[in-house]
């Protein structure tokens, strides 16, 4: 089954994030209306600063039945929950603490294990169990892209890209962007999605966005190309600056 790809370019970052909030809330609520529940994977980085505060406010907050939403994380920096770099912490502060999501339906990466491999094994299991409870698919996976082309914590040419296809979570060591130890869901996990939404804003992302979306490309150089949810939707929402080279 082919992937349905949609690219939307917005004049300004504000319009991009408003459109992303509208799309995500519509997709989550459609899932709830059709299947009685929704499963989402959140990324960190700029989304915590610009998208999540919108989702936490009117009108988007009221448009999602948050008690019926389960939350996983697309990736996590392997630092304690109270570290400023922790994505769960940032997502809680900007979104989850402001909406009536059920605490037991939020699944942070357990960064309190001494060995990240143990956390990855547990996160694999939790992701598999949640996917099974949601018909085998995420309803929405939200992803960013770094200026170097990384998405979640999948970095270009990194050995983590060669993770066996049956693994849903992987430890990423020696990440070129700090902090160096991370945990990421894998392309296998992201491809089990009804909708994947990439969001990119700003001139620093322009080359990476163009490399991801134009020409034949190379999935090792552009890990975003590994994410092709069969039979699902793939959205790229970018502002004019990030889409300048398209
Ligand atoms: O380190 C990370 O980077 C990517 C991109 O972040 P951005 O700030 O450039 O949007 C982010 O999606 C990922 O979750 C995060 O761990």
Ligand 1, closest atom to CA 177? 1
Q: Does a structural domain hold residue 19?
A: yes
Q: 215 with 142: CB under 8 angstroms?
A: no
The per-residue pLDDT for 234 is 98
Query: Measured in angstroms, how far is the CA atom of residue 146 from the centroid of ligand 1?
Result: 6
Q: Does a structural domain hold residue 244?
A: no
Q: Does a structural domain hold residue 81?
A: yes
Tally of CB atoms within 10 A around 7 = 14
Q: 125 with 183: CB under 8 angstroms?
A: no
Q: Does a structural domain hold residue 107?
A: yes
What is the per-residue pLDDT across 141-176, written as a single tens digit (0 to 9) for each? 999 999 999 999 999 999 999 999 999 999 999 999
Domain of residue 126, residue span: 4-239
The total of structural domains in the chain comes to 1
Query: Measured in angstroms, how far is the CA atom of residue 154 from the centroid of ligand 1?
Result: 10
Q: Does a structural domain hold residue 94?
A: yes
Percent of the chain's residues with pLDDT above 90: 99
Q: Does a structural domain hold residue 246?
A: no
pLDDT class for 1, splitting at 50, 70, 90? confident
Q: 5 with 246: CB under 8 angstroms?
A: no
**Whole-number average pLDDT of the chain:** 98
Write the CATH number for 143. 3.40.50.1360
In a mutational test of the pocket of ligand 1, which residue from 40, 41, 46, 196 has the highest number of ligand atoms less than 8 Å from its CB? 46
Q: Does a structural domain hold residue 20?
A: yes
Tally of CB atoms within 10 A around 3 = 14
- pLDDT score of 181 more than 90: yes
Assess whether the C-beta atom of 239 lies below 6 angstroms from ligand 1: no
Assess whether the C-beta atom of 31 lies below 6 angstroms from ligand 1: no
| Two tokens, residue 244 | 């300048």
What is the per-residue pLDDT across 36-85, written as a single tens digit (0 to 9) for each? 999 999 999 999 999 999 999 999 999 999 999 999 999 999 999 999 99
């Amino acid at each position: 089954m082919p992937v349905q790809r949609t690219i939307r370019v917005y004049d300004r970052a504000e319009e991009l994030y408003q459109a992303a909030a509208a799309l995500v809330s519509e997709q989550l609520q459609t899932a709830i209306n059709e299947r009685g529940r929704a499963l989402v994977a959140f990324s960190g980085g700029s989304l915590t600063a610009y998208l999540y505060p919108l989702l936490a406010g009117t009108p988007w907050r009221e448009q999602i039945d948050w008690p019926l939403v389960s939350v996983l994380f697309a990736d996590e920096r392997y630092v304690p929950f109270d570290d400023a770099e922790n994505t769960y912490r940032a997502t809680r502060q900007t979104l989850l603490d402001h909406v009536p999501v059920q605490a037991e339906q939020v699944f942070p990466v357990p960064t309190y294990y001494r060995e990240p491999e143990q956390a990855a094994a547990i996160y694999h299991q939790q992701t598999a169990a949640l996917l099974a409870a949601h018909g085998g698919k995420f309803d929405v996976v939200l992803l960013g892209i770094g200026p170097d082309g990384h998405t979640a914590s999948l970095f270009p040419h990194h050995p983590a890209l060669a993770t066996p296809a049956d693994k849903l979570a992987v430890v990423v060591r020696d990440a070129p962007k700090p902090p160096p130890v991370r945990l990421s869901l894998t392309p296998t996990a992201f491809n089990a999605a009804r909708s994947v939404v990439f969001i990119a804003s700003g001139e620093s992302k322009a080359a990476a966005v163009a490399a991801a979306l134009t020409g034949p490309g190379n999935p090792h150089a552009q890990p975003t190309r590994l994410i092709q949810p069969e039979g699902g939707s793939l959205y790229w929402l970018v502002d004019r600056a990030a889409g300048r080279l398209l």
